[in-house]
Amino acid sequence: MASFASAPGSGTIRTGDGTVTVNPSAPYSGLVILMHGLGDSAEGFADVAEMWARSAPHIKFILPTAPTQPVTLNGGFPMPSWYDIIGLSERSNENCEGIEQSRDTVIKIMEEENKQGLAYDRMMLSGFSQGGAMSLFTGLQLPAEKKIAGVLAMSGYLAGAKQFSLSDAGKTTPVLHCHGTVDPMVQFPMAKKTESTLKEAGIENYELKAYEIQHTVIPEELAYALDFIKRCLPPDESCAVKEKEIDEMSVKELKAAIRKGGLGSQAVGLVEKSELRNLLKENKK
């Protein structure tokens, strides 16, 4: 008996906390967490995730939105930010208040996916600019039992140097760092410094891919990044997440399945567990 979660067409789901989830049409065997840059939201890269998902239908993409908080660099104006940015110099990036809390948020997403049956080595972290910095900071400090398949940083840099310590697992985690040579915001020397710092710390597989662009992404870069994702997370049905049968789901899982199935409007007013189950069963394919 097939589970509801394996039904095709579940598509892109948006939740009230600003998270965008691009679900594959079949049970997934890989996960990419994609983080946006300063002042943006998950919506900023939703189209990129959907494009990648069409070429990698075995991968689920989760795009969280950073908390809104004052940013010193922008005169204390509140905006979505993974951590406070005082400046863009090497010294001003040593502390990055809030980065550890955001790291914990990302790890919590990973832990929830692991509870669903997905191994950590079938997960990747990725991001643009501040989101790329979050990917490096989080993905390269994980312990061996949570080692991931790879890290993709686009126009990112190594932030929070005082809090950062490359783990043994991080040393062997593949990294692709794409960066613009004429980037006026996160300048290319910061990318080179990130590369040299991590290589000196012992990282073994770090590629810095340069493009003659400013602080943005281009199709050529996104295609190269997708190839990297596919190499790190090739299709593997033996790793596919097989979600519970409807009768085995908790209320939380039932509600998640309803959102994933695009049945939210039909669930308005339903409060009993049996009602949620029946809705799923009636729409099961």
- Active site residue ranges: 129, 183, 215
3-state SS class at 93:
helix
Per 3-state DSSP, what percentage of the chain is helix, strand, and coil (rounded to 5)? Answer: 40, 15, 40
Torsion sign across C-alpha atoms 93, 128, 204, 240: positive
Reading the block at residue 74, the tokens are 């922008």
Q: At 178, list the tokens.
A: 């794409």
How many degrees, rounded to 5, is the angle at CA 250 between CA 248 and CA 255?
Answer: 115
Q: In the Cβ-directed half-sphere of 199, how many Cα atoms lie within 13 Å?
A: 11
Bridge-based pairing of strands 30-35 and 59-63 is: parallel
In terms of C-beta density within 10 A (0-12 exposed, 13-18 middle, 19 or more buried), how is residue 52 classed?
Answer: buried
Q: Which residues pair with 30 in a beta bridge?
A: 59
- Residue 102, SS3? helix
What is the residue type of 61? F
What are the CA-CA distances from residue 179 to residues 74, 211, 217 (Å)?
A: 23, 6, 9
Residue closest to 123 by CA, chosen among 34, 186, 7, 242? 34
